[in-house]
């Protein structure tokens, strides 16, 4: 049997299936003696590795097709290549090498997506099984909290899709896992992706991405992925497994612990972190190795710190851990860790005799007084602080092994699998492989419920046996030292929680002891550091103490401010010698010292670092000492050196030096304009140099102090002005008197001096959103005679968020209360410490015609918000006049209020799903937008661009709901600052067409809203997604009259007034809106209305229709503007209102008429069809759509009586 097609390569076939099918084919019945010898290969059709062969019998011509395999070979191949950590390119290279057909991108992606779904689903089940196993063991051991929830220890770590080499942490995807300590199986695993190739390509082309499954789920630094995932895993542990992760083991490379502490996943339980022993010891050794190669230290000292001594110290620590592990003697381990470095350098007086029997003492080496030895002891002390973790003697090797499985699944991180979902699925596959050791067979049983093939079983069993053998032959890995850069999310320098109190006290004591020096040692330090900044020892010692230049920053720091940046600046301040001003100061410092010595005839000696005898953490380095024990400090600013001292002062380059006369002084540019101040008639105008009523700026300290000269009184005063907000200034002032220095005059302002407030009037300030939300609120208020609580007052929001309506109620039992309505316009908010302030305008709503002055309207408020569950409340104190004087707390003021939001969300109804099917609806002419919120309870009516909100409706209660076609409800409406309940009715006319009818009157009581019938006009709404529908009244029509014709006849010259020549010479004109005929629903889809004339035609697509009595309504849009559904194009449509009637013609025969009017704004019921509207037509029927105009015309001339009779019959039928 010789095949006709040669050299087609190799194929993968199921031998049993293929041979069986071939034998069946050879046994086909015919008159000839057919068999295998008569079969010939005709063709092949293959998709990837799946083939279908066509064979033909050469005698009888019988054809049959045989598949290469019944199983899906393509899916098996893709699963296998993914499990091997490869992709499509590697698969096709292998297939080409063995002569098999290549797989297309489409086929691979299809199989790949199916496998990703299978792997992710199976991984979830395996995590659940692992959690159940840990839970069962914890219950048996009795590790439960007071609520009976099991407590377990876990091990956590993360990995990324590409290698960082400790320098470049910019991976597109990252994975982190939580593994149970007891059984070593993954309990939680998640992948964060910060990249989607489809979205990225669309963004690059500045296009909208096509619809796709986007796997991007993270924005932020790649280094933060690990801590984010693990924190999420802790939060989900109870819901997912019913477990509490009370302790976790991890390295110190990530800020995970700090985020878990802040998140507090378990109320009442603080999660404890145990540091991995291997990471702590490795980092300890690396730090010592870095010191040994740091050229900042003397070469002779660095030669003492050998690798042998580092390893000796580490071995001593390991032995100490084993010794104290059983007894949990944390203090003993702490001492032994600090003694380990002395042991390494043969100083054994502090050694534990159970660990070391040597008695030698070698402390004569000058190395032990060096700066490097001081730094070594600091490194050891940092490790000793982790004694509480080292005593546990645990590591995170199990999670590192899981990371290794992921690395294998992603091809050793050599290929970027993070563009879509491949990295995520491969991590899921690694989880299955890690938890079960059998990836492919586990997925087979889970997804298909069948036993895997023998080949898969053999392979996985062989791999597992190899793993068991490998455990018996563990080899050490060589580790190389790689320097690291600072990273706040990963590495050594990360956000970590503070040390516990006991450990902190030990660390402080050890730190101070290491700083203590004898008098001789302090003198030697001063001599060795006489070069100051050019001395490495001087730089290092300053990091361990507070010097005079930094002491002020420390003692002036507020207790409420974090010390993080201050400590960071002291310890890791970068070199700024390259800065021009710094280099200038250092260059001329010696020159200034010589000039000072010559001017005052004194001897100035150089000096180094002086260390305090009593407090060794305090020090100072003056620029010089005189023989009379005077300190000398030199400053050489560069600005006056370049441009002269006068120019430097004028340009505010020398803040410590002010010129008394002739110097520049300006108020900030943002203060320019007119300001209102209580008690001052008119406005106070400020420009760059003058404040009206106060004087001209004469001198300033460039902060908040201004010396002002009053020309009218010929005197000076100090103004201390604070800008609280761009619309609010507050100041204190001195009496106007004789000039003195700015500091002297301003010092006379006492803390209880009068505080004046100014509020901007010109340019007119723009209101800002009020800080009280979410409205509405009920509130109580007091004017000093008791709380007015019953009946409660009410605060309601306006459509503008910067306005709030306050409805005060009178309380019969509280004197001085009255019913009143005030409108608050919020202008400015600011915060001082923990106190929040608000300045606003108060207007009397019920006395709009009364004249209100600025004194009556400006008010200052102090407020404080309290959030508890779903309840929000505000305590507010209001000033009694247009100042902020006397307002110190939200409970003391001229009027105090307590606002509590009305949490009626559980009573709030929701608009039906068919109403909010599209969240955005538009009026027919697209002038207004109707937006339903995502919670389906609020409707916002605004102009089309959303810049002005006209109305806001909140669903209150549904009164009637009929068959998803009508809903009648009561809604709370806000219009400006007016609000109340209205009746609303919504009709569903078509899928993309609604009609809305709103009551015109506002009612306080909801049950009054729909008590009367609604006479308000209907508003027709359409969505952006329109679907054509059949048009009513299909047929062909003749236009006998139109609104355009009537207008044209009123404007043109009648034919009777023209001569015959004029009529003959007059050109034929096309008149806009003039049509001769029309067809309705005559297209293939029966969804088009078309008007035709000899010159032009206009077509509309029907979107929906309905009837009301004798009238019909059709919503249709221009066919040329028809867009795809959901295209988002702005919809414009018309409402065609029509009616039909029958009237006899001049022959006495009945004729059916169709009167139509088109309205552009809404389906206005007041429009008379055929007479009014934007367009109006009167039509007579000319036949059905199947009949042509020509046929109907001939028929009418041949037998007019018969034609009219047929039309009358058709009209009568439609009327019925």
What's the average pLDDT block by block, 10 residues per block, for the chain (1216 residues)?
61 86 78 78 86 86 85 87 88 88 90 90 92 93 89 92 77 92 92 87 84 84 88 92 92 78 84 90 92 87 90 93 89 91 87 83 70 88 89 90 90 82 90 88 82 80 79 62 50 63 80 79 78 67 77 72 76 70 75 75 79 82 74 79 68 58 74 92 89 90 87 90 93 91 88 89 90 87 89 87 89 86 92 92 72 87 86 91 88 91 66 86 88 80 73 87 88 84 91 89 85 85 87 90 69 50 48 80 88 87 91 89 45 88 79 90 90 89 73 40 37 40
Residues 281 and 228 in one domain: no
Among 901, 922, 954, the domain boundary falls at 901
57 Cβ partners below 8 Å, 6+ apart? 28, 30, 34, 38, 39, 40, 63
Report d(CA 215, CA 210) in Å as an integer. 14
User: What is residue 1005's DSSP assignment?
Assistant: S
> Is residue 359 within 8 Å of residue 348, measured between CB atoms?
yes
Which residue has tokens 């002779």? Answer: 300
CA-based nearest residue to 371, from 469, 432, 305:
305
Instruction: Judge whether 1067 lies within some domain.
Output: no
Q: Domain containing 328: what range?
A: 277-362+382-390
Instruction: Judge whether 297 lies within some domain.
Output: yes
Helix axes 277-292, 307-325, angle to 10 degrees: 160
Residues 754 and 842 in one domain: no
User: What is residue 452's DSSP assignment?
Assistant: P
CA-based nearest residue to 388, from 199, 582, 247, 581:
247
Tell me, rounded to whole angstroms, the distance of Cα 665 from its chain centroid: 45
> Is residue 411 within 8 Å of residue 81, measured between CB atoms?
no
978: domain CATH number is 2.40.128
166 Cβ partners below 8 Å, 6+ apart? 482, 483, 484, 485, 491
Report d(CA 194, CA 177) in Å as an integer. 18
The secondary element (H helix, E strand) that includes residue 705 is strand 705-710
Instruction: Judge whether 671 lies within some domain.
Output: yes
> Is residue 658 within 8 Å of residue 707, measured between CB atoms?
no
Helix intervals (H) in 682-819: 742-746
Tokens matching residue 4: 């006709």
Contacts 24+ apart (CB under 8 A), 677-682: 677/756, 677/757, 677/758, 677/759, 678/757, 678/855, 678/858, 678/881, 678/882, 678/883
Helix intervals (H) in 207-328: 225-235, 237-241, 256-263, 277-292, 299-302, 307-325
Which residue has tokens 């050109």? Answer: 1067
Report d(CA 270, CA 402) in Å as an integer. 27
> Is residue 993 within 8 Å of residue 1022, measured between CB atoms?
yes
The pair phi, psi for residue 200, each rounded to 5°, is -65, -40
The pair phi, psi for residue 62, each rounded to 5°, is -70, 130
Helix axes 536-543, 371-384, angle to 10 degrees: 30
Report d(CA 1041, CA 882) in Å as an integer. 70
CA-based nearest residue to 67, from 129, 14, 6:
14
734 Cβ partners below 8 Å, 6+ apart? 717, 718, 745, 746, 748, 749
> Is residue 821 within 8 Å of residue 808, measured between CB atoms?
yes
Residues 557 and 625 in one domain: yes
Residue-level pLDDT at 509: 81
Tokens matching residue 430: 């690694």
Neighbours of 421 (CB within 10 A): 22
The secondary element (H helix, E strand) that includes residue 797 is strand 787-797
Residues 890 and 990 in one domain: no
Residues 714 and 569 in one domain: no
Residues 620 and 689 in one domain: no
Tokens matching residue 870: 């779903």
> Is residue 781 within 8 Å of residue 791, measured between CB atoms?
no
Residues 337 and 425 in one domain: no
**Strand, coil or helix: what is 352?**
coil
> Is residue 301 within 8 Å of residue 310, measured between CB atoms?
no
Instruction: Judge whether 793 lies within some domain.
Output: yes
Name the domain count of the chain.
Answer: 8
Report d(CA 438, CA 225) in Å as an integer. 28
The pair phi, psi for residue 686, each rounded to 5°, is -120, 135
The pair phi, psi for residue 980, each rounded to 5°, is 170, -175
Return the sign of the alpha-carbon dihedral for residues 905, 908, 914, 918: negative
CA-based nearest residue to 881, from 907, 914, 915, 856:
856
Instruction: Judge whether 735 lies within some domain.
Output: yes
CA-based nearest residue to 156, from 258, 270, 257:
257
The pair phi, psi for residue 63, each rounded to 5°, is -115, 150
Neighbours of 185 (CB within 10 A): 20
Strand order in the sheet with 546-547: 546-547, 618-620, 610-611
Which residue has tokens 């937008």? Answer: 929
Residues 283 and 386 in one domain: yes
Among 732, 762, 792, the domain boundary falls at 762
Residues 268 and 138 in one domain: yes
With 0-12 / 13-18 / 19 or more C-beta atoms within 10 angstroms meaning exposed / middle / buried, residue 431 is buried
List Cα–Cα distances, 1189 to 252, 785, 1080, 1192, in angstroms: 88, 89, 13, 5
Report d(CA 1203, CA 1188) in Å as an integer. 14
Residue-level pLDDT at 837: 95
Among 990, 1023, 1056, the domain boundary falls at 1023
Categorise residue 652: left if φ over 0, alpha if ψ from -120 to 50, beta otherwise: left
The pair phi, psi for residue 659, each rounded to 5°, is -90, 130
Report d(CA 74, CA 55) in Å as an integer. 23
First vs last C-alpha separation in the chain: 78
> Is residue 901 within 8 Å of residue 887, measured between CB atoms?
no
User: What is residue 617's DSSP assignment?
Assistant: T
Report d(CA 1112, CA 655) in Å as an integer. 82
Tokens matching residue 1093: 């004339």
Tell me the Cα Rg of the chain. 44
Residues 538 and 673 in one domain: no
**pTM to 2 decimals?**
0.45
Instruction: Judge whether 495 lies within some domain.
Output: no
Residues 1042 and 1154 in one domain: yes
Residues 269 and 415 in one domain: yes
Contacts 24+ apart (CB under 8 A), 711-717: 716/740, 716/745, 717/745
Which residue has tokens 């919503």? Answer: 1115
Please provide the size of the chain in residues: 1216
Helix axes 1189-1198, 1200-1215, angle to 10 degrees: 120
Instruction: Judge whether 136 lies within some domain.
Output: yes
Instruction: Judge whether 373 lies within some domain.
Output: no
CA-based nearest residue to 777, from 865, 848, 838, 888:
865
Tell me, rounded to whole angstroms, the distance of Cα 458 from its chain centroid: 49
């Amino acid at each position: 049997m010789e095949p006709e097609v040669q050299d087609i390569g190799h194929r993968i076939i199921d031998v049993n299936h293929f041979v069986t099918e071939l034998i069946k084919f050879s046994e086909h019945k015919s008159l000839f003696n057919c068999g295998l010898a008569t079969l010939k290969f005709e063709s092949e059709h293959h998709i990837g590795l799946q083939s279908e062969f066509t064979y033909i019998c050469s005698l009888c011509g019988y054809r049959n097709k045989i598949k290469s395999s019944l199983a899906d070979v393509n899916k098996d191949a893709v699963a296998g290549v993914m499990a091997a950590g490869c992709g499509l390119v590697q698969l096709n290279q292998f297939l080409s090498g063995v002569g098999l057909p290549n797989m297309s991108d489409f086929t691979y992606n299809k199989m790949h997506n199916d496998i990703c779904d299978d792997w992710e689903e199976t991984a979830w089940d395996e995590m659940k099984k692992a959690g159940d196993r840990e839970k069962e063991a914890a219950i048996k051991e009795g590790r439960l909290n007071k609520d009976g929830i099991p407590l377990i220890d876990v091990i956590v770590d993360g990995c990324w899709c590409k290698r960082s080499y400790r320098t470049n942490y910019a991976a597109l995807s990252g994975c982190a896992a939580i593994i149970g300590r007891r059984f070593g199986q993954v309990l939680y695993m998640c992948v964060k992706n910060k990249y989607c190739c489809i979205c990225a390509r669309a963004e690059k082309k500045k296009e909208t991405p096509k619809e796709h499954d986007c796997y991007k789920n993270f924005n932020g630094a790649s280094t933060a992925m690990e801590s984010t995932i693990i924190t999420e895993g802790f939060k989900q542990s109870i819901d997912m497994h019913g477990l509490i992760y009370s302790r976790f083991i991890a390295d110190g490379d990530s800020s995970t612990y700090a985020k878990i502490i802040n998140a507090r996943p378990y109320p009442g339980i603080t999660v404890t972190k145990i540091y991995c022993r291997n990471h702590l010891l490795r980092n300890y050794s690396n730090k010592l190795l870095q010191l040994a190669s740091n050229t900042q230290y003397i070469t002779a000292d660095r030669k003492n710190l050998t690798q042998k001594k580092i390893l000796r110290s580490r071995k001593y620590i390991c032995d100490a851990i084993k010794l104290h592990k059983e007894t949990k003697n944390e203090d003993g381990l702490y001492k032994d860790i600090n003694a380990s470095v002395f042991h390494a350098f043969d100083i054994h007086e502090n050694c534990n005799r159970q660990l070391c029997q040597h008695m030698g003492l070698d402390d004569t080496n000058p190395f032990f007084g060096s700066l490097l030895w001081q730094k070594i002891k600091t490194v050891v002390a940092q490790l000793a602080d982790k004694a509480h973790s080292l005593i546990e003697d645990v590591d995170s090797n199990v999670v590192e092994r899981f990371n290794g499985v992921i690395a294998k699944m992603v091809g050793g991180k050599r290929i970027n699998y993070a563009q879509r979902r491949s990295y995520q699925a491969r991590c899921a596959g690694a989880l299955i492989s890690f938890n079960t050791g059998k990836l492919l067979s586990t997925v087979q049983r889970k997804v298909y419920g069948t036993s895997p093939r023998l080949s898969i079983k053999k392979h996985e069993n062989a791999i597992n046996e190899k793993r068991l053998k490998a455990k018996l032959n563990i080899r050490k890995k060589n580790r190389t030292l790689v320097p690291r850069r600072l990273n706040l999310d990963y590495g050594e320098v990360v956000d970590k929680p503070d040390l516990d109190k006991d450990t902190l006290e030990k660390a402080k004591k050890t730190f101070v002891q290491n700083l203590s020096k004898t008098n001789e040692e302090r003198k030697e330090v001063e001599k060795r550091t006489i070069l100051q900044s050019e001395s490495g020892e001087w730089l290092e010692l300053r990091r361990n103490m507070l010097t005079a230049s930094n002491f002020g920053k420390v003692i002036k720091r507020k207790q409420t401010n974090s010390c993080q940046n201050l400590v960071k600046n002291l310890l890791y301040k970068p070199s700024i010698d390259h800065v021009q001003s710094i280099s200038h100061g250092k260059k001329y410092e010696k020159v200034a010292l010589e000039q000072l010595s010559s001017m005052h005839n004194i001897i100035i000696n150089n000096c180094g670092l002086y260390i305090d005898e009593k407090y060794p953490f305090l020090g100072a380095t003056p620029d010089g000492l005189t023989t009379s024990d005077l300190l000398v400090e030199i400053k050489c600013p560069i600005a006056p050196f370049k441009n002269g001292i006068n120019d430097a002062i004028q340009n505010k380059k020398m803040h410590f030096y002010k010129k008394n006369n002739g110097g520049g002084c300006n108020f900030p540019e943002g203060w320019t304009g007119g300001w209102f101040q209580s008690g001052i008639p008119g406005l106070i105008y400020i420009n760059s140099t003058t404040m009206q009523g106060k004087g001209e700026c004469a001198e300033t300290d460039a902060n908040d102090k201004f010396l002002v000269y009053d020309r009218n009184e010929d005197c000076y005063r100090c103004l201390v002005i604070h800008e609280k907000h761009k619309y609010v200034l507050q100041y204190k002032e001195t009496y106007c008197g004789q000039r003195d220095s700015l500091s002297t005059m301003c010092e006379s302002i006492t803390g209880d001096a009068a505080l004046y407030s100014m509020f901007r009037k010109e340019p007119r300030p723009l209101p800002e959103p009020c800080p009280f939300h979410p409205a509405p609120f009920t509130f109580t208020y007091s004017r000093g005679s008791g709380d007015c609580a019953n009946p409660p007052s009410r605060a309601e929001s306006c459509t503008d968020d910067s306005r709030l309506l306050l409805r005060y109620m009178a309380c019969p039992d509280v004197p001085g209360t009255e019913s009143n309505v005030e409108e608050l316009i919020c202008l400015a908010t600011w915060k001082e410490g923990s106190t929040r302030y608000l300045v606003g305008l108060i207007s009397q709503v019920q006395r709009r015609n009364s004249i209100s002055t600025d004194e009556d309207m400006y008010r200052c408020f102090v407020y404080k918000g309290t959030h508890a569950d779903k309840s929000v409340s505000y305590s507010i104190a209001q000033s009694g006049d247009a100042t902020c004087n006397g307002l110190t707390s939200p409970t003391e003021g001229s009027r105090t209020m307590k606002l509590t939001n009305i949490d009626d969300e559980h009573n709030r109804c929701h608009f039906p799903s068919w109403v909010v099917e599209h969240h955005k609806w538009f009026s027919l002419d697209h002038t207004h937008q109707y937006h339903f919120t995502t919670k389906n309870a609020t409707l916002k009516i605004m102009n089309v661009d959303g810049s002005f909100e006209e109305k806001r409706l909140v669903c209150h209660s549904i009164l009637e709901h009929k068959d998803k076609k009508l809903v009648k409800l009561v809604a709370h409406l806000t219009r400006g600052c007016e609000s109340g309940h209205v009746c609303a009715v919504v009709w569903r006319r078509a899928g993309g067409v609604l009609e809305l009818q709103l009551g015109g009157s506002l009612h306080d009581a909801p049950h009054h809203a729909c008590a009367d019938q609604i006479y308000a006009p209907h508003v027709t709404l359409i969505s952006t997604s329109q679907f054509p529908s059949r048009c009513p009244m299909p047929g062909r029509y003749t236009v006998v009259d139109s609104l355009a014709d009537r207008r044209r006849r009123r404007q043109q010259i009648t034919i009777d007034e023209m001569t015959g020549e004029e009529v003959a010479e007059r050109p034929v004109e096309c008149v806009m809106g003039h049509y001769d005929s029309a067809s309705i629903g005559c297209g293939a889809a029966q969804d088009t209305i078309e008007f035709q004339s000899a010159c032009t035609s206009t077509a509309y697509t029907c979107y929906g229709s309905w009837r009301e009595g004798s009238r019909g309504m059709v919503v249709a849009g221009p066919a040329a503007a028809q867009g795809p559904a959901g295209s988002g194009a702005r919809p414009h449509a018309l409402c065609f209102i029509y009616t039909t009637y029958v009237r006899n013609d001049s022959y006495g025969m009945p004729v059916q008429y169709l009167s139509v009017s088109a309205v552009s704004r809404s389906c206005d019921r007041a429009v008379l069809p055929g007479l009014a509207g934007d367009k109006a037509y009167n039509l007579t029927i000319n036949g059905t759509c199947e009949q042509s105009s020509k046929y109907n015309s001939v028929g009418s001339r041949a037998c007019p009586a018969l034609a009219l009779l047929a039309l009358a019959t058709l009209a009568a039928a439609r009327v019925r």
